[in-house]
Amino acid sequence: MSTSQNSTQTDLRPAAASGTLAIGGDLLVHRLGFGAMRITGPGIWREPADHDEAIAVLKAAVELGVTIIDTADSYGPEVSERLIAEALHPYPADLVIATKAGLVRPGPDKWEPDGRPEHLREAVEGSLRRLRLERIDLLQLHRPDPKVPFANQIGTLLELQREGKIRHIGLSNVTVQEIEAARRMATIVSVQNLYNLSDRSAEDVVEYCTRENIAFIPWFPLATGVLAKPGGALARVAERHDALPAQVALAWLLAKSPVILPIPGTSKVTHLKENLEAARLHLSESDLQELQ
């Protein structure tokens, strides 16, 4: 991955309007990425219903200025990573592929943690093959496994980093205490937790990441809850800006902290374009107050 940019071209693409974030100090990405979970089948299971549309979404994301795509070996499982390679390899020099390891799939919509060192190593090796990479720019522990000592899980990723198979290490679905424990063992450059307008239970994690300059990648970023009800705050703000509620939800995340990196996912090119246009939406202080 290279941080070189063609500013004349980039400025014309929607995702570029979100500004940039240097993950780990050296992975420069636009702050509106793409989450590649939903390019798989129903239940995040097996092949997509429309293979060609999935490929088109991935290609369109890059064409529209996305410079980070988030995936995981468990999406499909394995399907999302294979589709990314099929659609985009050889990758553009400025594209970061972030993936995750640590969950296994017994069936559709079912997820189980597996943080055994042997599994994490096997998962990373599999991701390298499927993504056709020599090194993963950002590998995130998908969820700590309570059955395995946390130090063993982080230690395995650190070993893989020292072997040159991982560039940077990130975490997902963690508490502030777990982030601090991991940082005593390794350099942690990103955290990926549930966070959106309607679920702010990770507020303390967002504040910690902002203070420590760690990229925070909210998953399920488009959830809006009661704020989206007719006549509600979200609807009013969206109407004032002639925007969709989902676009306002993404713009709110971008305004919340300079380290927040939303990765909205979709299986449709039309929805992808709508999501990325949120980067051009600038919420006022009064808008933000209304959404609190």
What phi and psi, each to the nearest 5 degrees, are found at residue 231?
80, 0
Distant-in-sequence, close-in-space partners of 137: CB < 8 Å, separation ≥ 6? 1, 27, 96, 97, 98, 167, 168
Q: What is the distance between the alpha carbons of residues 150 and 76, in angstroms, rounded to a whole number?
A: 26
Q: Nearest to residue 124, comparing CAs of 99, 89, 105?
A: 99
Q: How far is CA 68 from CA 43, 77, 82, 87, 151, in A?
A: 23, 20, 16, 14, 28
Question: Helix 51-63 to helix 79-88 angle, to the nearest 10 degrees?
Answer: 60
Burial code (b: 16+ CB inside 10 Å, e: under 16) for 58-97 equals: bebbbebbbbbbbbbbbbbbbbbbbbbbebbeebeebbbb
Is the Cβ–Cβ distance between 164 and 136 less than 8 Å?
A: no
Q: How many of the other CB atoms lie within 10 Å of CB of 52?
A: 8
Of 75, 91, 195, 208, which is the active-site residue? 75
Residue carrying structure tokens 């990314």: 84
Please indicate whether residue 75 is annotated as part of the active site.
yes
Residue carrying structure tokens 């943690």: 113
Q: Nearest to residue 146, comparing CAs of 173, 123, 107, 108?
A: 173
Question: Helix 203-212 to helix 176-183 angle, to the nearest 10 degrees?
Answer: 30
Residues identified as active-site:
75
